[in-house]
Amino acid sequence: MTDLVLENLSVLRGKRRVLQQTNLHLHPGEFVGLIGPNGAGKSTLLRAALGLVGAEGHSSLARLSPAVRARIAAWLPQAREIAWPMPVIDLVALAQNGRRDAPQVQAALARMDVAHLAERPATALSGGEQARVLMARALAQDTPILLADEPIAGLDPAHQIACMKLFAARAAEGRVVMASLHDLGLAARFCARIVVLDHGQIVADGAPEKVLTPDLLGRVFGIHCHIATVEGGLVLHPLESCNHLTWKEGSDAG
Amino acid sequence: MNRKLLAALTFAVLALFLLSLLTGVADVGPIRSLKALFWGGEGPLDIVMREIRLPRAILAVMVGGSLGLAGAAMQGLLRNPLAEPGVIGISAAAALGAVLALQTGLAATVPLALPGAALLGALLGVGAILFLAGAGGGTLALILAGIALSALASALTALVLNLSPNPFAAHDIVFWMMGSLADTSFTQVAVAAPVMALGWLLLARSAHGLEALTLGEEAAASMGVNLRRLRLAITLGTAAAVGAATAVAGTVGFVGLVVPHVLRPLVGANPARLLPASALGGALLVLAADIAVRKVLPGQDLKLGVLMALVGAPVFFHLIWRMRGAA
């Protein structure tokens, strides 16, 4: 099986170091949640790991040729682009050289609950449905490593939970799965390992109950949370933002 | 379904090719014309069929195929249905190159100088568009870049004509730029064929990359597409196809806009399957238009480029109208 290894990975944007000397070793079987506030460098870390942006240091994926990398790692970018009104099944089949009847394509359609939309033009679907179609494409690539940038943003709660369970199941099959997430509650409940990124640096890495402490949540996210254990799992619910992060008077949150 | 579409398009191209051979000033029956083409000697009809109508029909297929293919490829790369070489000024840039070659006399002395210069102009045009419109190909940036490039290329072409020492040559060039397949011969076929073939090869090889690009650049790159190579292949391929087409037929716009627009729903919007369909569709459209210019106003020398613009511009308006609604 394939590990994902990052050593001293750094990314410069202009003169600013948006990712600093990152070391990370992900093992098959792990579903890793990558969390951090806006601008912490989550997307940059994932892109640099894949070699999609120029970076210093070493990533086990970045030095592969695009064709070889595509067989090892699938990538679900945050921007959900579908340029042409192609049928859903054809979009998903792009992961298997356009073979509509490939078993991976059929399985991915079923797992993302979009099999009933297979012949519909993907551009005519709702945002959440499009997100599931694009995720089905990444699953259909059937790779030992899956990296996803905010995969559950915009999904309804049932599909968010289904998606997190699916990622956990993919990891349990012996794959590496890493997803950047903003929903700390779902991350706490479904990820086996949490990596916290702040100002381009990994500030915590480990099991959810070890990492997601009130101290860290206050320091990194500026929030106060209710943390408990229910039905054998961690429950985390943000309650209040700490003072330094309140919106300014009259500023527009939208 | 795809195979049926390609078969139907091929059949239609063959039928119109035949019709094109039978269309002309000399009013001769079809059987006699075809006899003259295949078994003719040195009589006037034999020469008309072999050396005027046959190359004209072949050029219509080559030019139309090139323009249709280039339009589909550019649209796939920029993910924008408005990206058409004629509309965004690449044909104008190619025409500038061709005009320079004609005016300097280079075209008459150096073999392949005319398509070469047009290719160079088109190459600079495609490069400028990709640079100005950016990789994402937003509609506004694309249209603005196209306007800027068209304006610059037209102004420079006008300057060349303005300073031309020979007013009759300038007059000829103005008419040539309107786009026409009249008065062509096998010389033009031979001049355009190698450059076009290079363009077709490069564009045909881009099919897989264009398909993956539907999901955006990052996703395409992660799916094994070498983006730099894809962009280079389409830039060179489009420049070669459009440059050679412009060198022999002048500026014929809108083929690459109308044809992919009409055929896209028939290929499931798949950018890879759109390529061969658009090539055949472009050949079909230019053959039909070239027959129409001879039939509609016989003896008036209606220009192919003018007719195409009259048909194509409304489609362009329609596309902008629809995209305005979607935004």
Q: Are B259 and B282 in contact (CB under 8 A)?
A: yes
At B194-220, the pLDDT tens digits run 999 999 999 999 999 999 999 998 999
For the cut 80, the answer to whether the pLDDT of residue B111 exceeds it is: no
- The DSSP code for A115 is G
* Alpha-carbon dihedral sign for residues A223, A226, A229, A231: negative
At A169-196, the pLDDT tens digits run 999 999 999 999 999 999 999 999 999 9
3-state secondary structure of A204: strand
pLDDT of residue B325: 63
Query: Six-digit token pair at A76?
Result: 């679900």
Long-range CB contacts (within 8 A, 24+) of A20-26 = A20/A199, A20/A200, A20/A201, A21/A57, A21/A201, A22/A48, A22/A57, A22/A200, A22/A201, A22/A202, A23/A202, A24/A195, A24/A202, A24/A205, A26/A145, A26/A176, A26/A178
Which residue has 């786009």 as its token pair? B179
Name chain A contacts of B79, Cβ cutoff 8 Å: 81, 83-84
- Among candidate residues B36, B39, B73, B135, the one with its CA nearest the CA of residue B260: B73
DSSP string, B35-59: HHHHH--SSHHHHHIIIIIHHHHHH
d(C-alpha A202, C-alpha A8), whole Å: 12
DSSP string, B290-307: HHHHHHHSTTS---HHHH
pLDDT of residue A56: 92
Query: Six-digit token pair at A150?
Result: 């905010």
Q: Facing residues of A74 across strands?
A: A146
Q: Which residues of A touch B (CB under 8 A)?
A: 47, 50, 52, 66-67, 69-71, 73-77, 79, 81-87, 90-91, 94-95, 97-98, 121, 134, 137, 141
Candidate from A50, A76, A85 with C-beta closest to B269: A85
Contact B224 A52 (CB under 8 A): no
Q: Quick check: B214 contacting A, CB < 8 Å? A: yes
CA distance to partner chain B, nearest, from residue A159 (Å) = 22
Average pLDDT over residues B183-197: 90
A82 in any annotated domain: yes
Tell me which of B299 and B239 has the higher pLDDT: B239
The number of distinct structural domains making up chain A is 1
Contact A94 B221 (CB under 8 A): no
Contact B213 A83 (CB under 8 A): yes
Contact A66 B221 (CB under 8 A): yes
Candidate from A69, A83, A86 with C-beta closest to B268: A86
pLDDT of residue A59: 94
* Residue B221 CB-density burial (10 A; 0-12 exposed, 13-18 middle, 19+ buried): buried
pLDDT of residue B237: 93
* Residue A189 CB-density burial (10 A; 0-12 exposed, 13-18 middle, 19+ buried): buried
A12 in any annotated domain: yes
Q: Check if CATH label 1.20.1440.130 holds for domain B2-12+42-326.
A: no
Average pLDDT over residues B31-59: 87
Choose, out of A61, A94, A100, A104, the residue to mutate when testing the contact with B (most B CBs < 10 Å).
A94
Length of chain A: 254
* Alpha-carbon dihedral sign for residues B300, B305, B306, B308: positive
Name chain A contacts of B222, Cβ cutoff 8 Å: 50, 52, 69-70, 73-75, 77
Under the banding of pLDDT at 50, 70 and 90, the label for residue B142 is confident
d(C-alpha A123, C-alpha A94), whole Å: 16
Do the strands A16-26 and A4-13 form a parallel or antiparallel pair, or are they unpaired? antiparallel
d(C-alpha A95, C-alpha A74), whole Å: 9
Contact A84 B79 (CB under 8 A): yes
DSSP string, B214-283: TT-HHHHHHTT--HHHHHHHHHHHHHHHHHHHHHHH----SHHHHHHHHHGGGGTT-HHHHHHHHHHHHH
| Average pLDDT per 10 consecutive residues for chain A, totaling 254 residues | 89 89 94 95 95 91 91 94 95 93 95 95 93 96 96 93 94 96 94 95 94 93 90 86 59 43
At A29-38, the pLDDT tens digits run 999 999 999 9
For the cut 60, the answer to whether the pLDDT of residue B34 exceeds it is: yes
d(C-alpha A17, C-alpha A14), whole Å: 8
Tell me which of B17 and B38 has the higher pLDDT: B17
Q: Residue A60's Cα: distance from chain center in Å? A: 18
Q: Are B74 and B260 in contact (CB under 8 A)?
A: no
Name chain B contacts of A46, Cβ cutoff 8 Å: none
CA distance to partner chain B, nearest, from residue A151 (Å) = 14
Q: Which residue of B has its CA nearest to A73?
A: B222
Contact B269 A69 (CB under 8 A): no
A70 in any annotated domain: yes
Residue B48, φ and ψ in degrees, nearest 5: -60, -50
Calculate the alpha carbon distances from B47 to B41, B55, B247, B279 in Å.
Answer: 8, 11, 25, 30
Which residue has 């209606």 as its token pair? B302
Total Cβ atoms within 10 A of residue B272: 21
Which residue ranges make up each domain of chain B? 2-12+42-326
Pure H helices in B104-166 = 106-109, 113-133, 139-162
- Among candidate residues B208, B185, B180, the one with its CA nearest the CA of residue B49: B185
pLDDT of residue A188: 94
HSE-up of residue A204 (Cα within 13 Å, Cβ side): 21
Q: Which residue of A has its CA nearest to B138?
A: A83
A147 in any annotated domain: yes
Average pLDDT over residues B36-55: 86
Candidate from A47, A82, A97 with C-beta closest to B215: A82
Q: How many CB pairs under 8 A join A and B?
A: 74
d(C-alpha A95, C-alpha A73), whole Å: 12
Average pLDDT over residues B104-132: 86
Name chain B contacts of A74, Cβ cutoff 8 Å: 222
Choose, out of A84, A86, A92, A134, the residue to mutate when testing the contact with B (most B CBs < 10 Å).
A84
Choose, out of A81, A104, A125, A139, the residue to mutate when testing the contact with B (most B CBs < 10 Å).
A81
CA distance to partner chain B, nearest, from residue A246 (Å) = 34
Structure-derived torsion over alpha carbons of residues B196, B284, B76, B253, reported in degrees to the nearest 10: 80
Do the strands A145-149 and A176-180 form a parallel or antiparallel pair, or are they unpaired? parallel
Candidate from A50, A66, A94 with C-beta closest to B211: A94
pLDDT, chain B, mean: 89
Q: What is the CATH number of the domain that holds A171?
A: 3.40.50.300
Task: Determine which helix (DSSP H) or strand (DSSP E) holds A238, and give its type and residue range.
Answer: strand A233-241
Q: Quick check: B212 contacting A, CB < 8 Å? A: yes
Domain range for A197: 4-245
Residue B90, φ and ψ in degrees, nearest 5: -70, -40
pLDDT of residue A252: 46
At B263-296, the pLDDT tens digits run 999 999 999 999 999 999 999 999 999 999 998 8
